[in-house]
Structure 1
């Protein structure tokens, strides 16, 4: 059975782009599309029932079911060829979505939800989902043509009647993968996912390794590396990066691969690189328990400031 693509839905307005992205990924993979919404309710101080004899939890569940039915209908209209299923789950979104998608090919969430504030760079649901994920998770955010408005982090209203969510944003036809060549080096799960995405989208692949030059941090104390030494260090990193990618270059001979080694602050250099990419792929170490990942400082910086959608791939 082909593994599904799962999309977490907040509401129709704020989830349109995530649903469209998930539908495109499902169509490329020939996979079923699962639309999921997690709901939770707070019991009333005084026990009672809703009009008509329903319970408060039942009313919330019915509203969630109606929301999903509307999302399924809209998605079928845009992608009539897809096999679409819907799931209403009781609980907090992050853990619920991660549990449902534990064996999925991809879990998709929006970068912002209905509860965000103006200037908020990433929603709490997206962060929670990433923290609990056991499969690759795509956070749909970044760039001028997203739910955050004309500038990253600026909230605007979206007219869902005039929006065309099935149309992808303007593309650069490039998948970007952040690769670490120093121990612990980026693992095969991350590299394999990046090559697969590039092949599915008929895109080029750029692999970037950014390393911190101590002279950049402490120029007064030690000064920068001499240019000859810096060239040698860059050449060694380049050799390791090529060795890391070689097995997948052979497996995907039709994918054009570009590599780049940069010396300086990794978070800034990688964020800058996302301005000319359609997708960024990075890894995150799995927790020893196998449930969820540890998203370090670099991962947080990229999720908050990337100018394109980001995929977090569990590894290790």
Structure 2
């Protein structure tokens, strides 16, 4: 998708961090940047026979302009050549940003924000957008290592291919390396000698490891050849998947995960690993969701 980078703005420090990240992404990708501020009006508080609320009629346009003005000035210092648009949209942030994602190449939000003059960019917004966005979502939280690699969580599921390509593209644009990490453990994967072997009796650890190495290699496919400028390090780790990824995120510039991998229940839009990384990673996280209807 060649649409703009969209960023949610609410005036909080974390949303300004998101603006910095979004501006840089727009500049590197050569696309426009949309600064979006969402206003919500609680229907239970609308006085009888009053026209629908708007920023202008509520007398807070100057306040909104200040918030967006600050965001725009910040964005121009990061990406002076980018085309920047400012939008004030009536609606709840989760709905507004989800709609914006339909025509965007990337949506960027802070991991948490403010509840201020009707604008809500809280943790629930980032989580909801990661599960429902039509484009990749970059959630800005934690302190990234500027020289750290892109940390790619490899699970080998067919729907994770988009996350792998996003990780390579991001590493190439930013001039960083890529660490492809695949965690496994014998409690969740077993190789049986025969159909009669109960799952709690027999598994072959050597064969398991060989299989997981194959999964890791196949997930990366020929992308190393398509992105020769990206130095790739593959790491196979035996351990708890969520703990391993969160620990490794301390030395990364960005973690990239698919929205749902192996073992996800049908209809579950954001898997347990993705949710854990989204909430606990020590650097920004990109969640790449595939619309299975497409």
TM-score normalized with structure 2 length: 0.81
Is the contact between residue 41 and residue 60 of structure 1 (CA under 8 Å) also seen in structure 2? Answer: no
Aligned residues, how many? 269
The 3 A distance-change label for structure 1 pair 129 and 240 is closer
Tell me which of 238, 259, 271 is aligned to 1:284.
Answer: 259
Is the contact between residue 283 and residue 312 of structure 1 (CA under 8 Å) also seen in structure 2? Answer: yes
The 3 A distance-change label for structure 1 pair 55 and 314 is closer
Structure 1, 60-69 or 76-85: larger mean CA deviation: 60-69
Write the distance in 1 (CA, Å) between the matches of 2:71 and 2:125: 19
The 3 A distance-change label for structure 1 pair 299 and 71 is same
Aligned to 1:110: 110
Secondary structure at the counterpart of residue 288 of structure 2: strand
Is the contact between residue 19 and residue 74 of structure 2 (CA under 8 Å) also seen in structure 1? Answer: no
Structure 1 residue 173 corresponds to structure 2 residue 152:
no
Q: Deviations over 1:33-79 (max 9, x none)?
A: 11101111235464487xxx996663277243443233223322443
Write the distance in 2 (CA, Å) between the matches of 1:48 and 1:96: 26
TM-score normalized with structure 1 length: 0.76
Aligned to 2:176: 203
Aligned to 1:36: 36
Segments of structure 2 that go 5 or more residues without pairing to the other structure are 117-121, 190-198, 262-266
User: CA shift at 1:249, angstroms?
Assistant: 1.1
Aligned to 1:189: 162
The 3 A distance-change label for structure 1 pair 191 and 61 is farther
Structure 1 residue 253 corresponds to structure 2 residue 252:
no
Aligned to 2:79: 79
Aligned to 2:194: none
Note the aligned Cα RMSD (angstroms).
3.0
Matches within 5 A, 1:69-148: 69-115=69-115, 123-143=123-143
Write the distance in 1 (CA, Å) between the matches of 2:268 and 2:89: 22
Matches within 5 A, 1:193-272: 193-214=166-187, 229-272=204-247
Write the distance in 1 (CA, Å) between the matches of 2:188 and 2:215: 22
Write the distance in 2 (CA, Å) between the matches of 1:215 and 1:104: 37
Q: Deviations over 1:122-155 (max 9, x none)?
A: 7122122223211000000123xxxxxxxxxxxx
The 3 A distance-change label for structure 1 pair 240 and 215 is closer
Write the distance in 2 (CA, Å) between the matches of 1:245 and 1:13: 36
Secondary structure at the counterpart of residue 3 of structure 1: coil
Write the distance in 2 (CA, Å) between the matches of 1:60 and 1:31: 33
Tell me which of 236, 249, 257 is aligned to 1:274.
Answer: 249
Structure 1, 74-83 or 243-252: larger mean CA deviation: 74-83
User: CA shift at 1:306, angstroms?
Assistant: 0.4
Is the contact between residue 132 and residue 293 of structure 1 (CA under 8 Å) also seen in structure 2? Answer: no
Aligned to 1:160: none
